[in-house]
């Protein structure tokens, strides 16, 4: 089916419900700023990772930028968010969300925040030599063996999923360059081993980390329960410094074998004082890039300017004119 042939329902009703947006758990003094950030995040398309201008919803209730989902549905019969078959390719204009975005941006302070949170991934090969880095952040991926930590990082870096992934021994890492607003950022992302005898090695990594993703397998409930020890260690080692703690449920594509539902995972987040819960599939790619995008923009928002890194001048010439 060509992208232009999708059925469209011209209806003012939509699936958008702010009450059902991803819930975060933060202290009272953090809530005002972060409530605004979470609201802004809900305006981003899972496919483009950018703010939507023409939001439409599929029959399973997920919302996307129209052109992005039309392009996806031209080649797929499944949801890009869940990997499950869609009953139809009908698209419903999400007029409530469109209005919410317009109202949000009509506020000068919120519009300024939206610009500050604009995200753009960059290829290291295309990064100009000598580019100065405004902010440096460290992101750590932890969890029991076999939950798909390395696969998530592979997909985030643009690689292809493989059923045969070699186990990580110790700690592996890669760098990711991106911008948020006017800030040039560099994230070092650490992929850690889930082997029990290497827990002490992983524990030392928490000390310089700004964000931790705790990954579990939604088809194995024990992997969620095992994360309690990881969380306790992270909080001990990261005490006294700003940080993001995110729970990530992987393998949602294997929905028939699921042992942990979204409600139970959200309760786990509340019990352990984490900041967010995201469901992903490394195999289908569902929600992976959006999860990293939000983690990286949130972490950069907290981070201070790197010392000794002045703003880059956009024009050649002397630093002043008078």
Percent of the chain having pLDDT more than 70? 79
Average pLDDT over residues 250-277: 94
pLDDT higher than 50, residue 68: yes
What is the C-alpha separation between 22 and 118, in angstroms, rounded?
19
Q: What is the pLDDT of residue 203?
A: 72
Average pLDDT over residues 39-49: 91
Q: Which domains does the chain have, with CATH numbers?
A: 3-117 (3.30.40.10), 122-302 (3.40.50.300)
Q: What is the pLDDT of residue 82?
A: 82
Q: What is the pLDDT of residue 69?
A: 97
What's the pLDDT tens digit per position in 238-248?
Answer: 887 778 999 99
What's the pLDDT tens digit per position in 80-109?
Answer: 888 889 999 999 999 999 999 999 999 888
What is the C-alpha separation between 160 and 158, in angstroms, rounded?
7
Percent of the chain having pLDDT more than 90? 51
With vertex at residue 161, the alpha carbon angle to CA 178 and CA 281, rounded to the nearest 5 degrees, is 80
What backbone phi and psi angles, to 5 degrees, belong to 38?
A: -65, -40
Tokens of 97: 């969300």
pLDDT higher than 80, residue 295: yes
The mean-pLDDT minimum among 20-29, 42-51, 55-64, 149-158 falls in 20-29
Q: What is the pLDDT of residue 25?
A: 44
Q: What is the pLDDT of residue 173?
A: 85
The H or E element that residue 192 is part of is strand 183-192
Distances (CA, A) of 225 to 198, 221, 222, 262, 296: 18, 7, 5, 15, 26
Q: What is the pLDDT of residue 306?
A: 67
Residue written as token pair 């890194």:
309
Length of the chain: 322
Mean pLDDT estimate for the chain: 82
Q: What is the pLDDT of residue 35?
A: 73
What's the pLDDT tens digit per position in 182-226?
Answer: 899 999 999 887 666 556 666 777 888 999 999 999 999 999 999
Q: What is the pLDDT of residue 93?
A: 98
The H or E element that residue 190 is part of is strand 183-192
DSSP one-letter string for 118-164: -EEEE-GGGSPTTPPPSEEEEEEEE-STTS-HHHHHHHHTT----S-
What is the C-alpha separation between 247 and 211, in angstroms, rounded?
11
The mean-pLDDT minimum among 90-99, 121-130, 258-267 falls in 121-130
């Amino acid at each position: 089916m060509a992208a232009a042939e999708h059925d469209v329902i011209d209806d003012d009703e939509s699936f958008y419900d702010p009450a059902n947006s991803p819930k975060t758990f933060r202290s009272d003094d953090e809530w005002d700023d972060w409530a605004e950030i979470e609201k802004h995040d809900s305006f981003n398309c899972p496919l483009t990772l950018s703010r939507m201008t023409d939001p439409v919803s599929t029959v399973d209730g997920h919302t996307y930028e129209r052109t992005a989902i039309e392009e996806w549905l031209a080649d797929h019969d499944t949801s890009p968010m869940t990997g499950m078959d869609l009953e139809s390719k009908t698209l419903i204009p999400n007029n409530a969300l469109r209005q919410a975005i317009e109202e949000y941006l009509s506020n000068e302070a919120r519009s300024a925040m939206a610009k500050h949170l604009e995200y753009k991934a960059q290829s290291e090969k295309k990064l100009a030599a000598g580019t100065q880095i405004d902010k440096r952040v460290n992101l750590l991926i932890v969890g029991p063996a076999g939950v798909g930590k390395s696969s998530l990082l592979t997909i985030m870096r643009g690689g292809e999923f493989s059923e045969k992934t070699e186990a990580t021994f110790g700690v592996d890492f890669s760098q990711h360059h991106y911008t948020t607003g006017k800030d040039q950022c560099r994230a070092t992302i650490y992929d850690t081993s889930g082997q029990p005898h290497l827990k002490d090695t992983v524990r030392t990594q928490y000390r310089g980390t700004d964000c931790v993703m705790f990954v579990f397998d939604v088809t194995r409930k024990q992997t969620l329960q095992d994360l309690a020890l990881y969380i306790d260690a992270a909080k001990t080692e990261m005490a006294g410094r700003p940080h993001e703690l995110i729970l990530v449920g992987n393998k949602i594509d294997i929905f028939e074998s699921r042992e942990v539902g979204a409600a139970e995972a959200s309760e786990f987040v509340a019990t352990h004082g984490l900041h967010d819960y995201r469901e992903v599939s490394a195999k289908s790619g569902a929600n992976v890039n959006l999860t990293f995008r939000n983690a990286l923009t949130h972490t950069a928002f907290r981070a201070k300017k790197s010392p000794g890194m002045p703003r880059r001048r956009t024009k050649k010439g002397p630093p002043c004119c008078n």
